[in-house]
A and B are shown apart, each in its own frame.
Chain A
Amino acid sequence: GENVEQHPSTLSVQEGDSAVIKCTYSDSASNYFPWYKQELGKRPQLIIDIRSNVGEKKDQRIAVTLNKTAKHFSLHITETQPEDSAVYFCATSGGSYIPTFGRGTSLIVHP
């Protein structure tokens, strides 16, 4: 089955810095790549996603890039703010539609 590796497991940055989280996957049939944010005590919620026919997508301070050849995709957060502190999960899904999640990255933004 699909295997998704997510790095780093913990990321600590100063407010205003950029943060990058990277995921690699194994199934070349994967075609949907969402990122979820889970704030403390809350449920995971989708923040941005990308489909396989697109290389990059931006939404204000967040962006996702996809390299299908290398089978990796990344979440970029610019000008980080304390409210960006959360656990971020990447995921993939393909022909079976069953999502596979990475193990999560705990992002800490220090004021």
Chain B
Amino acid sequence: EAQVTQNPRYLITVTGKKLTVTCSQNMNHEYMSWYRQDPGLGLRQIYYSMNVEVTDKGDVPEGYKVSRKEKRNFPLILESPSPNQTSLYFCASSRLGQGENEQYFGPGTRLTVT
């Protein structure tokens, strides 16, 4: 089954404790990205990647890191989480091509930083 998976689905942590949210897709997609969703602000892009070892900042990259060592995986790293990073996070992937950019979203990770 074609899918995007994220782990964990829920996470409560404390300020400053490093964490990683994993994202994996089995569709051989070139493009992967991370979004955060906050009430009234829609989906804001954090980072994206167009290929292995190629990553770029989105609209709200501060406080986050990513890596793309393999095509299928795109982990999101919070080195020192702060309460303003409490949010719902979605990973997404897609093909790259004219009119082929349907985004497939993971199930979401709800993060609370206290």
Q: Which residues of A come within 8 Å of B, CB atoms?
A: 9, 31-32, 34, 36, 42-46, 49, 51-52, 89, 91, 93, 97-99, 101-104
Contact = CB atoms under 8 A, between A and B. Distances in A.
Interface of B: 31, 40-43, 48, 50, 90, 94, 96-103, 105-108
B41 A103 contact: yes
A32 B102 CA distance: 9
Contact of A97 (B31, B41, B105): B31
B42 A89 contact: yes
B42 A34 contact: no
Between B90, B99, B108, the greatest number of chain A beta carbons within 10 A of the residue's beta carbon is seen for: B99
Contacts of B42: 89, 101-104
A91 B96 contact: no
Given A43-B107, A97-B97, 7 more contacts: A32-B98, A34-B103, A36-B103, A43-B106, A44-B105, A99-B94, A103-B42
Contacts of A42: 107
Nearest to B102: A46
Given A89-B42, A98-B48, A102-B42, A46 B99 contact: no
Contacts of A52: 99
Contact of B105 (A43, A49, A93, A102): A43
B103 A46 contact: yes
Contact of B103 (A31, A44, A51): A44
Given A44-B43, A103-B42, A31 B102 contact: no
A43 B37 CA distance: 11
A42 B103 CA distance: 15
A53 to B, nearest CB: 9
B37 to A, nearest CB: 9
Contacts of A36: 103
A99 B103 contact: yes
A45 B31 contact: no
A97 B54 CA distance: 15
B99 A45 contact: no
A21 B104 CA distance: 22
Nearest to B95: A97
